[in-house]
Amino acid sequence: MPVITLLTDFGLSDPYIGIMKGVILSFAPQASIVDISHYIDPQDVQAAAYLMDSAYPYFPEKTVHVVVVDPGVGGGRKIIAAEAGGHYFLAPDNGILTKVFGRGEVKTLVCVENPEYFIQPVSRTFHGRDIFAPVAAHMATGRPLTEFGPTVSLADLIYLDLPLPYIKKSGELVGEVITGDRFGNLITNIDQQVLSQLGSSADRSNLFIHIGTYLINGLSASYQDVPPGGLLAIIGSRGYLEISVNTGDARSYCGIEKGAPVRVVLGDTK
């Protein structure tokens, strides 16, 4: 059974996702459609890039992953289809696959141009229905990617200038909040590998995390490591450092939004 995932900023209060699924099932009635999320903040390509990169490895190989966070819909941006890391991807060429392609496992890459696979007439504002959905269905049923358009080079694509955590000469690790989830957890761009670069002695207890005016002493193993309402830092399920409040909302608690700096120091509370 072919699997198709959907990741969008459409929300669920409008009929857009239901219509896309209807189109997919019209062309691939055996497909299993999985919603990764439809609550990416509108036009937040960066958050979608991180979320797709953290989600797709948990799906079976040959899954078709459709990403429609598309501020340039109806304009001059390309639509690309790729085989990478044993999976298939369909997305606007706006940098949304920057992290996926950064893994260096791209086998085939095409620009989706063949109108034979589009619903006509193509809307200028709803390519999710008229291009992404039918093309994804045909990809899932085994059509070669080269049937959808000409091959292109990775060098021809648009990439996001994603903020990277870095270690200052003082030994301080600096990152930032890249997104939040519906629980109010603040998700940073600092992963476990970067944390390990602070030194071999960088265990959970001697790390100090600064965010806004708040200081968190050590990493928690679970939310229950602090009392209800307490602020904590934890490695979340996506593999990144998160700032959370046990049974609360860290975004409101800290008054912090995307882009806010996060500093991690080893054994120093300054």
Tens digit of each residue's pLDDT (9 = 90 or more) over 47-67: 999 999 999 999 999 999 999
For the entire predicted model, the pTM comes to 0.91
* Residue 70 phi, psi dihedral angles, 5° rounding: -140, 70
Can you tell me the distance from the alpha carbon of 55 to that of 37, in angstroms, rounded to the nearest whole number?
10
pLDDT, residue 266, reads 86
State how far the alpha carbon of 92 is from the alpha carbons of 73, 126, 169, 190, 197, in Å.
8, 13, 39, 26, 34
Res. 8 pLDDT band, cuts 50 70 90:
very high
pLDDT, residue 270, reads 54
**Token code pair at residue 175:** 């990152």
Tens digit of each residue's pLDDT (9 = 90 or more) over 88-134: 999 999 999 999 999 888 999 999 999 999 999 999 999 999 999 99
Q: 166-266 adopts what CATH topology?
A: Elongation Factor Tu (Ef-tu); domain 3 (2.40.30)
Task: Read off the pLDDT of each residue in 188-202 and give the average, rounded to a whole number.
Answer: 79
Q: 3-156 adopts what CATH topology?
A: Rossmann fold (3.40.50)
**Token code pair at residue 174:** 């600096």
Q: Bridge-partner residues for 188, per DSSP?
A: 177
Whether residue 260 is predicted with pLDDT greater than 80 in this model: the reply is yes
Contact status, residue 264 vs residue 173, Cβ threshold 8 Å: yes
Can you tell me the distance from the alpha carbon of 258 to that of 93, in angstroms, rounded to the nearest whole number?
23
pLDDT, residue 240, reads 94
* Domain assignments of the chain as residue spans, ordered by start: 3-156, 166-266
**Token code pair at residue 79:** 């639509």
Q: Are strands 87-92 and 32-37 parallel, antiparallel or unpaired?
A: unpaired
Count Cβ atoms below 10 Å from residue 206 Cβ, excluding itself: 16
**Token code pair at residue 160:** 């996001």
Whether residue 40 is predicted with pLDDT greater than 70 in this model: the reply is yes
Which is more confidently placed, 105 or 215? 215
State how far the alpha carbon of 137 is from the alpha carbons of 4, 14, 83, 125, 150, in Å.
8, 22, 15, 20, 19
